[in-house]
Structure 1
Amino acid sequence: MTIAQDERAALATTLRAVGPDAPTLCDGWTARDLTAHMIVREYRLDASPGILISAFAGHTEKVQNEVAAGDWDSMVRKFAAGPPLFSPLKLVDRFVNITEMFVHHEDVRRGGAEWEPRTLDTASTKAILGPLKAMGKRAIAKSPATVELVTPAGEQIGVGGRGPVVRVTGEPLELLLFVFGRSKTVLDFSGDVDAIAAVKAAKRGF
């Protein structure tokens, strides 16, 4: 199995454990809503464009609500099976679904009041670093300060924004969640106090 497939299986296990009504880090979405989103992304080519393009968002929302109304166990099984043969994501699953699986797994894990960060194995951490480096700079390009993303080992992942320097230090998974706009992260911020506050409050993501 690939890293993406392993993480998909782990996410499916977590979804079964928390149940359909569990909160997530995606505003207004329960675990059921998030699972429906992932199914639409992979199974409904007619509706998936609305995930990124606002002009098609209405159709996507309608289809997603229809999927979310289905049987929970069937939904989780469908997600766990991965992209169908007709999906463009089938051939590139190991590459494009690395971030999707890890971020959404943490969306579910950290959705409630009590959560703990995970310690990933070396292979998973390495798999995250590639897309993190590719996307990190773009995600923080409009930051209200010059943001430096750095690992605890001192490896610089990306730099973006303008103004006072704010260094954000953390494990690759935590940095990935940060650039995707998640607030529940384990990170160290250093720099000007006002600049740090502005960076934390700024919109991030894609």
Structure 2
Amino acid sequence: MSTHAKRERLLLADLLESAGPEAPTLCAGWTTRDLAAHLVVRERRADAAGGMVIKPLAARGERIREEFAVRPYDELLQMIRTGPSRMSPFSWKQVDEAANTVEFFVHGEDVRRAGLEWKPRSLDPVFADVLWRRLESSAKLLGRRSPVGLVLRRPNGQTVVAHKGAPVVTVTGEPGELLLFAFGRQEKTRVEIEGDEQAVAQVKGARLGLG
């Protein structure tokens, strides 16, 4: 049975393949090859993946990622498509859905939106609701470095407070756009932003997201 994570995995692999190994991405300093290596290491090398969240381990994790990055690009794409071994927690359906749905969606847009011409992806209502629920549960973490109050709002009026403070900036958009905004891709989203001019400028330049 297909899941959101499985679908996003295959879409991301297709985007990486179409772009080629040296295309730019929205991940600062990374080409599509670098991004592909990151995705493989994250699932297949638990000893290196810790460096993505634990700073003292970052240097080792980056070294291993660079080792994977020199492999043939087609090999990296095949590893992404097939996923980790059955021994990996990422191979479990529940873990895959929880850990990879947003990860693959965001990185897919990192590839799509790095070019000069792009338009927002049309998401089905069920998947949009899935992304909204993920945003609701992670908004405070993603928005913790906002210098001002930050509210994220869907066109249907549903809202979530990403950061308490004053003045308040309200960002309105579809769930996928809001999620990308909260992950620090502010300049590559289609949203409406309301608030004091200076506060809006601060939010646009803020280091939002997990990093």
- TM normalised by structure 2 equals 0.94
In structure 1, the partner of 2:125 is 122
1:154-194 C-alpha deviation (Å, 9 max, x unpaired): 11033413111111001100111111111311110001111
Corresponding residue SS for 2:152: strand
Contact 1:147 1:166 (8 Å CA) reproduced: yes
Contact 2:131 2:175 (8 Å CA) reproduced: yes
Q: Which moved more, 1:133-142 or 1:148-157?
A: 133-142
In structure 1, the partner of 2:135 is 132
1:76-113 C-alpha deviation (Å, 9 max, x unpaired): 01111123212122221012111101000000101122
Aligned pairs for 1:1-206 (under 5 A) are 1-91=2-92, 92-182=95-185, 183-206=187-210
Corresponding residue SS for 2:46: coil
Alpha-carbon distance, 1:116 to partner: 1.1
What CA distance in whole angstroms lies between the structure 1 residues aligned with 2:162 and 2:15?
Answer: 34
Contact 2:142 2:162 (8 Å CA) reproduced: no
Match for 2:196: what amino acid?
Answer: D
Identity of aligned residues (%): 44
What CA distance in whole angstroms lies between the structure 1 residues aligned with 2:141 and 2:201?
Answer: 20
What CA distance in whole angstroms lies between the structure 1 residues aligned with 2:13 and 2:173?
Answer: 26
Give unpaired runs (5+ residues) of structure 1.
Answer: none
CA RMSD of aligned residues (A): 1.1
Number of equivalenced pairs? 206
Match for 2:150: what amino acid?
Answer: V
What CA distance in whole angstroms lies between the structure 1 residues aligned with 2:56 and 2:115?
Answer: 32
1:29-81 C-alpha deviation (Å, 9 max, x unpaired): 00000010000000011111001111011111111011000011111011111
Contact 2:5 2:100 (8 Å CA) reproduced: yes
Contact 1:32 1:68 (8 Å CA) reproduced: yes
What CA distance in whole angstroms lies between the structure 1 residues aligned with 2:181 and 2:101?
Answer: 16
Match for 1:156: what amino acid?
Answer: T
Give unpaired runs (5+ residues) of structure 2.
Answer: none
Contact 1:144 1:161 (8 Å CA) reproduced: no
- TM normalised by structure 1 equals 0.96
Contact 1:7 1:102 (8 Å CA) reproduced: yes
Match for 1:90: what amino acid?
Answer: S
Alpha-carbon distance, 1:142 to partner: 3.5
